[in-house]
Amino acid sequence: MTQQQTPPTLGMGLSPANPEYQKDPFTLLDDVREQGRAVYDELFGRYIVGRFEDVQQILNDRDLNVDPRKADESSFMANFRRRFTDDTREPSMLFLDPPDHDRLRGLVTRAFTPRSIEQMRGRIGEIANELIDKVEGQSSFDLMKAFCQPYPTIVIAEMLGVDPNDQADFKRWTDDGVAAGFDPFAGEEKQQRAKVAREQLETYLRKAIAERRAEPKDDLITALLHAEDEGNFFNDEEVVSMVALLLGAGNVTTTDLLGNGLKNLLQQPDQVQILRDNPSLITNAIEEMLRYEGPVTFTGRIAVDERELAGCPMHRGQSVTLAIGAANYDPRLHKDPHKFDVTREDIDHLAFGGGRRYCLGAPLARLEAQIGLETLLTRFPNLRMPEQELVWKTVPGFRGLEKLIVEV
């Protein structure tokens, strides 16, 4: 390999603070990946790993930690991830290590099962159609606002068993709570709104839990309360935290998968035509959407002891950033990685992470994306995207559009 002449962009340059990164993170991430297997990012005290094989191996390494309290004091994991946790209570499973992670994950998988997701199939199609009915007659609209944003929130609200009369409040708490919760660039007002929204959501969930303890229903909240794994059960606060995690981890990501994916598809009308001619390729197209511009660009791990990761010696507490957005463009695995191709064969990507923390919601996200795309293509035979300046969200580590104007 030829020696890189200029050093790759690191630090804040690999964040939404850099307009060049906002426009095209994947080219900047190519430079990082090709610089070396583990590239040190001085500003954030972290190594960035971007080659597919290395990222996959680290995701599969069962010894590594994620709890930010175990990271070097001034490191990326400690600083950035601390924002997503609150010192006054136990973090969600997303930031816990074994044995706590194993216990909580073991329980949630008893309730949030592939069967419970598959049971929603018919209703997911109805929800997609109901959202499209609302924009009937309009020749142009914001697809994010009309479809991609509300769609996953309504699906999960119905799975949880949220009363239809409460759905508008539920959606507002979810949107406001998540919007600022994950965004360090959020202003004071947005953060305050997020805090209030989270408190209201938790109050609502505590009431819903008490009601189901008194009178069980056929819904996900009841299933979580009854989930049993080797004599273990969730307590009420753990159910509140788990539901908040499902909403936080699941809604924005699914919204962004659809938004980014449709943007990429509509920018290449020949690709849209391929799907119209071969609807059976839609599931493959979703995998290409996940690879090409998945909603999660980075995740992280913390070294537990002195060991080599990606060929580099690490010390205990060292933050390691896994650049999913670099791995999914690794030319060692993907032919012509910057080409968006719905017919690409054997698509392998790390958009849902891997190993013991592999995305719990992947089957739901895939099902929603598949039904969403099918429904949009069927209901809008002339769906297209006019010229527009794309505005990206400012949440580090995530990739999603604020707005996507379409014409029908």
Query: What does the binding site for ligand HEM look like in residue numbers (CB under 6 A)?
Result: 93-94, 105, 156, 245-246, 249-250, 253-254, 257, 294-296, 299, 351-353, 357, 359-361, 364-365
- Considering the complex, state which of residue 135 and residue 175 has its C-beta at the smaller distance from ligand HEM: 175
Q: How far is the CB of 214 from ligand HEM (least distance, A)?
A: 26
- Considering the complex, state which of residue 245 and residue 371 has its C-beta at the smaller distance from ligand HEM: 245
d(CA 361, CA 376) in angstroms, rounded, equals: 22
- Considering the complex, state which of residue 246 and residue 376 has its C-beta at the smaller distance from ligand HEM: 246
Q: How far is the CB of 366 from ligand HEM (least distance, A)?
A: 8
Q: How far is the CB of 294 from ligand HEM (least distance, A)?
A: 5
Q: How far is the CB of 311 from ligand HEM (least distance, A)?
A: 21
Side-chain-facing half-sphere of 353: CA atoms under 13 Å: 20
- Considering the complex, state which of residue 28 and residue 296 has its C-beta at the smaller distance from ligand HEM: 296
| Identity of residue 182 | F
Q: Return the bridge partners of 296, or none.
A: 398
Alpha helices by DSSP H, listed for 162-215, are 167-181, 188-214
- Considering the complex, state which of residue 150 and residue 295 has its C-beta at the smaller distance from ligand HEM: 295
Q: How far is the CB of 142 from ligand HEM (least distance, A)?
A: 20
Q: Give which of 297, 293, 325, 338 is closest to 33, Cα–Cα.
A: 325
Question: Nearest-5° angle of CA 158, CA 164, CA 168?
Answer: 100
Please give the C-alpha separations between residue 273 and each of 113, 129, 134, 286, 307, in angstroms, as whole numbers: 35, 21, 25, 15, 50
Q: How far is the CB of 5 from ligand HEM (least distance, A)?
A: 33
Residue nearest to ligand HEM as judged by C-beta position:
361
- Considering the complex, state which of residue 36 and residue 361 has its C-beta at the smaller distance from ligand HEM: 361
For residue 214, give the 3-state DSSP assignment. Answer: helix
The interaxial angle of helices 167-181 and 236-266, nearest 10 deg, is 80
For residue 302, give the 3-state DSSP assignment. Answer: strand
Distance of CA 302 to the CA centre of its chain: 20
Q: How far is the CB of 90 from ligand HEM (least distance, A)?
A: 14
Q: How far is the CB of 192 from ligand HEM (least distance, A)?
A: 26
- Considering the complex, state which of residue 245 and residue 373 has its C-beta at the smaller distance from ligand HEM: 245
Q: Give which of 345, 327, 355 is closest to 50, Cα–Cα.
A: 327
Listing DSSP states for 342-392 in one string gives TT-SS----TT--GGG--TTHHHHHHHHHHHHHHHHHH-TT-B--S----B
- Considering the complex, state which of residue 124 and residue 351 has its C-beta at the smaller distance from ligand HEM: 351
- Considering the complex, state which of residue 253 and residue 271 has its C-beta at the smaller distance from ligand HEM: 253
- Considering the complex, state which of residue 135 and residue 291 has its C-beta at the smaller distance from ligand HEM: 291
Which residue's entry shows tokens 């979810």? 174
Q: How far is the CB of 35 from ligand HEM (least distance, A)?
A: 23
Q: How far is the CB of 189 from ligand HEM (least distance, A)?
A: 28
d(CA 93, CA 90) in angstroms, rounded, equals: 9
Alpha helices by DSSP H, listed for 25-181, are 25-35, 52-60, 76-82, 100-111, 114-118, 121-133, 143, 150-160, 167-181
